[in-house]
Structure 1
Amino acid sequence: MSAVVAFEERNGIRLPDGYRAFITTLGNGGPGPYQGLEPLDTGVTSHQLSGEFPYHPERLDESYEATYWNAYRGTLMLNRQDRIEWDYHEDVDPRTLLVVSGPGRGRMVMVDWEREYFRPIYHPAPDFLAWYEEWLDRLADRRPEGRAEGRTRFWETDFDRPGWDSRAVRDHPEVEEAVWAARMIRARYNRWGWPELSEPHCAELAEAAAGSPSPRVRAAALWALCRARRNIGAFVMPMLRDPEPGVRLLAMKAVTGSAEDLGAERVRDALRPMLSDPDPVVRVKAIYHLATHGEWTAGVLEELIRHGQARVRIAAAGVLPSLPYHLSDERMRPLLAAARPLLGDDDPAVRAAAVGAFGSLGAPWSRAMVAAAVTDPDVRVRREAAFRVLHFADTGLLAAVLGVLLEDDDIAIRYQTLGLLASHRSASPLLWTGLAHARLAESDPSVRRMALAALVNAGAPPPEREWPSLLTDPDPDLRRRAAYLAGHVHQPPAGPLHQTLHDLLNDQVREVRGNAARSLEQTCDDGCLPVLEAAHENEDDRVNRYVLGKILARLHPRS
């Protein structure tokens, strides 16, 4: 128990109660679904644990964000499911995570570990214990779920769990089960070689979207239907009259995407009444969708940009970057003039949305306005401004704000800035290497790692005397990256950098040993032979042994 408490205090979290009770009273790791429960490593220290997992269990279409915070921040990896063939020669690696921070705290969620094929899918179970008990109940039944080639086959992934068909979305009495089924259909059908959902199943989803008493089920059913089949306009037209604004928004998007099936005029006829929708955000989206089909109502969006509700101003700002593809410069000018005051809005969320909109427009004047926001008092606005400047500004504008970004109070902004500098897209190194070098003293190892990469890639690595502390850092990812980058700098065999790389040949982490060996490959001399021979003898990784063998062969070639 004391180790768990220390783990929580060190990482600034508290484990969900059910899981916490399980590992402190029954066991840490062991038997469980699929490949069993992963044990909790109570020695880990990671800022990622306290970051909120961004994927909300009640929202449907959210994107991954991975900068300083990785996509699976705020979670623990509890369970590996079996790899499955998603398409011809395309495998997916599903895993089960426990959410420890964020709106889904305590829930279990299946993710595609490589983030390539499907988005996170929350399990219907309300918490870890209910999820684990479902597995125990399956064991007690001892009933195989199917037979293949004479062998009994039990579940290998959540995709083997029964109940994710269109009828379950329509008929299941539990909201979480129905939403889970819709998410699974969305993940699997009409993607990567799977066929479209059949018309009868689409009709069942449409019935769920039109008739379920739960707004969440109606939205999830419609969301699944939009992916499972193309040209679904005939199915979704009735949902434009749904009492829930979120469902109407999804229905408008689906109708707009079915123009090939419905015809452009019928789409416009269906969308025009939405301009009078009681929800102003729906009106904003109706204006945008009509614009994509060649119909524009002057003056309406300008009024909504100035709306009293912040969420409406945010929605209006959000459609601006896409409108230049459909509107002339003459029509865009009054919109942009109306939107400029949003950059100074009292609500920081509105300012952040405005920064994102103007930063995406591409005009030099708009990017200069965005650059001014890097000193905004609210961190959300500064993060949005930093992202836009770092990715879209010209080098002159970037050079003007680099010093501000590298000294920002927010660690995510400093990390993101160093990441751009490490990728070679930057202003002259003379303008920033001193500031980046100061980041090597940061307390967070991920920032130190990115600062080191930026300096080495710019041809301004830290002095040799500073490398041993980086190469022997307690953080394994920093050791791994430093060992790799050491191969890009001069390292005389008698120097402290070279000698520390010798020590890393015995590191506990395989990747660290491998990178150290590769960095030594062209610089070792005869004086290194005893160290290399011992490392070669003790190395249990085939690839690392091969690299060490190449060095030994270079020093002592066969006659």
Structure 2
Amino acid sequence: MYGEQVLRVREKLKQAAAADPNCQVFGARIHQYRLYEPLSQAELMQFEQQHGVKLPDAYRVFLTEIGNGGAGPYYGIHPLGKKQVIGLERIHEPSVLRSAAREDQAAGRMTKLCLDDDIDDEAYDEAMAEWCQGLLNIGEQWCGYETMLIVTGEYRGKVVYLDLDQTRFFFTYEEHFLDWYERWLDETIAGYESAWFGRRRGGDAQALMKLYHTEREEYTRFEALEGMLKLPSIAPETADFLVNQYKRGPANIPRLALQVLAKMDFDRADPLIRRTLHSQDPAARLLGMQLIKRYMPQGERRFMDELLALLPQELNEEAFRLCSKLLYEAGVEPLPLLIPFFKHPNLEVRIQAVYLAGKSADKANYLPDFIRALEDEEVRVQYTALQALGEVTDPGLMEIYEQLLRKHKTNKDYIRSYIKVRLEEFAFASLEEVEREIPTECTHVRGMLKKIVGL
């Protein structure tokens, strides 16, 4: 039944290794595209008899005709029954996991139990055992994320990803293990993005566009577009398709179409991103900035005029933060634009403005503005201003430092610690110099400096 697929998998494994000679694909340095020796039928049957279960056919064929683990998605495939993070005592029980479209009652109970501080250990262990029954741990992805094979129940044969820490799961799209495994080989050979293998729809651009056009369910169409994010590149006709969906697609489709286009063909996305930056919709502006941050080719300074114009009038907290960061990373001196935001009613905007202003080489010329930030009623603004004033050793700061030390009698908010750091930068050479240079009314500053100099 699987004879031709077995031959394809064997040949594609060689091609995958040749396509990735330096093992750059995620996890490849662990398995290096090598398989363990296949199991004998007797060894396989012994495992099945011991645990009272018959493994899915596609997986049995892999174990006996291809290899007992080794090369595979993420960190590879475990040898049968080895490296298990869940017990095998209930592997023969029907799996309770259901597809994403149906409620998973066991997972729901697990989530409630995990949130319960008074959880009974026995109740937790039982719920986890029920949630994991009928599953075989076939691979590891990273901390807390495991690859499982459903060996019993309604979805027997499907590969599912488990987040054991958050008790969440994801059903992969393929019908059985060998299809899932062969897809990994195909995508490795084609140079697809592999870090999140299996979580997006399979297929190349043509297959995904066909799925998009033939499916009526919006969620599936969304998945088809999202699947393009794994591709290494797209053809001009695919870019045309994405532009069309950006302009005419329903609901969340335009946002995703623009994201895919920005990742795959940033030049083609450029005028559409500019359109978002001029939008009256804060969410659209934020999307444009996010795409610039994530996908604009390194070293380029596009959109600087738009961002400079946006910053003084941007009211959305997250958009302001990202806009100011983009300008800073592009080498633009935004300090004069940031100063008015030191008094902004939104706390997070004030903090971000002070933080980025502190990175300016010209900040010493705006000392009165930073002093006003130090006098802010919010401790987080004071703290950020103290960080921002690194290497500024103006004597005019002594009085405001004295006020802060008097106000913050303990180091609960780390204000005193940062004042100490700032005072150390003044580099007084002796106790006599402290006595001579620091006003007598600054008793707390003098005391801290004497301890610093006396060390």
TM-score, L = length of structure 2: 0.56
Partner in structure 1 of residue 232 of structure 2: 324
Amino acid aligned to 2:330: S
Alignment deviations for residues 282-312 of structure 1 (CA, whole Å, 9 cap, x no partner): xxx9995243xxxx7x476157259665444
Cα distance, 1:484–1:434 mapped onto 2, change above 3 Å: closer
Alignment deviations for residues 170-191 of structure 1 (CA, whole Å, 9 cap, x no partner): 48xxxxxxxxxx9xx99xx946
Kindly indicate whether the alpha-carbon contact (under 8 Å) linking 1:371 and 1:389 is maintained by their aligned counterparts in 2: no
Runs of 4+ in 1 over 4 A off after TM superposition: 120-123, 164-168, 191-197, 246-257, 262-265, 285-288, 305-310, 529-537, 553-557
Quick one: which of 132, 147, 152 aligns to 1:207? 152
Give the SS at the match of 1:457: coil
Kindly indicate whether the alpha-carbon contact (under 8 Å) linking 1:456 and 1:489 is maintained by their aligned counterparts in 2: no
Alignment deviations for residues 449-478 of structure 1 (CA, whole Å, 9 cap, x no partner): 111122221224372222233113232222
Counterpart-to-counterpart distance in 2, 1:433 and 1:531:
33
Give the SS at the match of 1:369: helix
* Counterpart mapping for 1:334-345 below 5 A: 334-345=237-248
Partner in structure 2 of residue 223 of structure 1: 161
Partner in structure 1 of residue 222 of structure 2: 314
Partner in structure 2 of residue 416 of structure 1: 322
Partner in structure 1 of residue 202 of structure 2: 289
The reply to whether residue 301 of structure 1 matches residue 301 of structure 2 is no
Alignment deviations for residues 89-125 of structure 1 (CA, whole Å, 9 cap, x no partner): xxxxxxxxxxxxxxxxxxxxxxxxxxxxxxx999543
Tell me by how many angstroms 1:501 deviates.
1.9
The reply to whether residue 163 of structure 1 matches residue 90 of structure 2 is no
Quick one: which of 512, 516, 528 aligns to 2:438? 528
Tell me by how many angstroms 1:385 deviates.
1.2
Kindly indicate whether the alpha-carbon contact (under 8 Å) linking 2:262 and 2:295 is maintained by their aligned counterparts in 1: yes
TM-score, L = length of structure 1: 0.47
Tell me by how many angstroms 1:520 deviates.
1.5
Give the SS at the match of 2:240: helix
Alignment deviations for residues 71-94 of structure 1 (CA, whole Å, 9 cap, x no partner): xxxxxxxxxxxxxxxxxxxxxxxx
Cα distance, 1:335–1:207 mapped onto 2, change above 3 Å: same
Measured on the aligned residues, the alpha-carbon RMSD in Å equals 4.7
The reply to whether residue 479 of structure 1 matches residue 402 of structure 2 is no
Kindly indicate whether the alpha-carbon contact (under 8 Å) linking 1:502 and 1:516 is maintained by their aligned counterparts in 2: no
Give the SS at the match of 2:361: coil
Tell me by how many angstroms 1:400 deviates.
2.3
Counterpart-to-counterpart distance in 1, 2:359 and 2:301:
20
Cα distance, 1:554–1:390 mapped onto 2, change above 3 Å: same
Partner in structure 1 of residue 182 of structure 2: 259
Amino acid aligned to 2:329: R
Amino acid aligned to 1:516: I
Partner in structure 1 of residue 398 of structure 2: 498
User: What percentage of residue pairs aligned between the two structures are identical?
Assistant: 10
Counterpart-to-counterpart distance in 1, 2:145 and 2:210:
43
Alignment deviations for residues 115-150 of structure 1 (CA, whole Å, 9 cap, x no partner): xxxxx999543898xx36x55xx5xxxxxx7xxxxx
Tell me by how many angstroms 1:255 deviates.
5.7
The reply to whether residue 463 of structure 1 matches residue 376 of structure 2 is no
Counterpart-to-counterpart distance in 1, 2:142 and 2:133:
25
Structure of greater Rg: 2
Tell me by how many angstroms 1:383 deviates.
2.0
Cα distance, 1:385–1:465 mapped onto 2, change above 3 Å: same
Partner in structure 1 of residue 329 of structure 2: 425
Kindly indicate whether the alpha-carbon contact (under 8 Å) linking 2:110 and 2:128 is maintained by their aligned counterparts in 1: no
Counterpart-to-counterpart distance in 2, 1:395 and 1:264:
34
* Counterpart mapping for 1:144-159 below 5 A: none
Tell me by how many angstroms 1:515 deviates.
0.9
The reply to whether residue 374 of structure 1 matches residue 374 of structure 2 is no
Amino acid aligned to 1:318: E
Amino acid aligned to 2:290: F
Amino acid aligned to 1:414: F
Counterpart-to-counterpart distance in 2, 1:473 and 1:463:
16
